[in-house]
Amino acid sequence: MSRVITYGTFDLLHYGHIRLLERAKQLGDYLIVGVTSDDFDRRRGKINTHQSLMERMAAVRALGIADEIIVEEYVGQKIDDIKRYNIDIFTVGSDWVGQFDYLKEYCTVIYLPRTEGVSSSDIRAKKADLKIAVLGNSGIGKKFAKECEYVNGVQRVEKMEESDAIYITSLPDKHYKDIRQALLEGKHVICESPIATKAEQVKELFTLARNQKLVLMDGLKPAYSTAYARLLVLIKSGAIGDVVSVDSVCTSIADEKVAQGEIAGKWNSICAWGPTAMLPIFQILGTNYTDRHIVSRFIDEEKKFDGFTKIDFVYPEAVASIKVAKAAKSEGSLVITGTKGYVYVPAPWWKMDYFEIRYENAENNKRYFYQLDGEGIRYEIVAFSKTIETGKDFSYVSEEVSVAIAEIIEMCMR
């Protein structure tokens, strides 16, 4: 009995996939199909897959062609699978010609002609592109525009009038007005955090977006890093016991003129870094702190422009702290203290691709690494466009967290 294996994403299953699977099956007696995991696809740059692993596997299974379905999770797995499943033939479409010749050492390799005229990318592309315009000309706005190029189904346009959605990165005290206007003009909005500098304004904007049936998303990119998302679920599942403290530091002095008082057109420390620094605190401990203590060192006290701010939060069973600065430098790490161990994320933690869980007995320590492309902006754009397209909420930052962030910023700037 000869055994055949083939692999693919099989997103939005189509005729080309089906023809490939039928021919693969005819090559032998038993067909194993490896469906790529969401993580594996992300790592190899396929970030805009429309269906989840479960949906893609269900679609392949429903065809009734495969005798067995497995998940492809890592580079090099094909070699392991061929040995493990005793495979005689590896096959894949001709778009991969030559690329899997290294498997000839283990089994026969056959490239089947690809079916012309149909592809998942075409099906995805048939849906009209989401046109996004950038408002505000900060450095992050340029990065955002660049990252749009990596996401299928998203197109960056110059003119606001031509857009379906707007990415806002104007000065924080202008956000409220800019978002309100965009929503009233019928445009979806993703705004660099904070959404506004007053909590009531944030609530009002979310309500307005709901009434207008539009998406308003908090553009807090560290939330979209895979490593950060994994860290959160590990903590929730008890990996370090009960959390007793979250300590988060975000500082930069890239703009030296700020310290010298040139603050016109600049973001103060609490707006530039506060949302990022507070994100893990509110997502791990919640937003119902019982007390907080804010200390700022101002560059311009009248204009409430802080060069450095430290905030302590008190919760019934835990504490937390942030240090943020535009005119001071410190170790930009994130440490989450638990009753069984702690999480350590090295600086700059807001570009997280790596973290460690450390225990009393260092032999039990674990290290985690996940690829981060485009500082999380790319995944954030995918989440934004998926939310608009499907009507389901793919945002990783809840309204409650956005409001809590604005509450603190409001206190700092009062």
The contact set with ligand C2G (CB under 6 A) reads: 7-11, 16-17, 20, 36, 72, 92-93, 95, 114-115, 118-120
**CB 32 → ligand C2G: shortest distance, Å?**
13
Cβ neighbors of 8 (< 8 A, separation 6 or more) are: 17, 20, 33, 34, 35, 36, 92
**CB 213 → ligand C2G: shortest distance, Å?**
33
Nearer to ligand C2G, 33 or 343 (CB): 33
**CB 28 → ligand C2G: shortest distance, Å?**
16
- Residue 414 to residue 407: CA distance in whole angstroms: 11
Nearer to ligand C2G, 10 or 396 (CB): 10
Nearer to ligand C2G, 90 or 384 (CB): 90
Q: Which residue is nearest to ligand C2G (CB)?
A: 93
Q: Nearest 5°: phi and psi at 372? A: -125, 115
**CB 53 → ligand C2G: shortest distance, Å?**
12
**CB 347 → ligand C2G: shortest distance, Å?**
35
3-state secondary structure of 92: strand
Radius of gyration of the chain from its Cα atoms, rounded to whole angstroms = 25
Residue among 91, 83, 109, 86 at smallest CA distance from 34: 91
Nearer to ligand C2G, 119 or 252 (CB): 119
Nearer to ligand C2G, 118 or 229 (CB): 118
**CB 86 → ligand C2G: shortest distance, Å?**
19
Nearer to ligand C2G, 107 or 134 (CB): 107
Each as own residue / partner, the long-range contacts of residues 135-138 (CB below 8 Å, 24 or more positions apart, any chain) are 135/160, 135/166, 135/167, 135/168, 135/169, 135/170, 135/178, 135/182, 136/168, 136/169, 136/170, 136/171, 136/178, 136/192, 138/169, 138/192
Q: Which two tokens stand for residue 207?
A: 């309500």
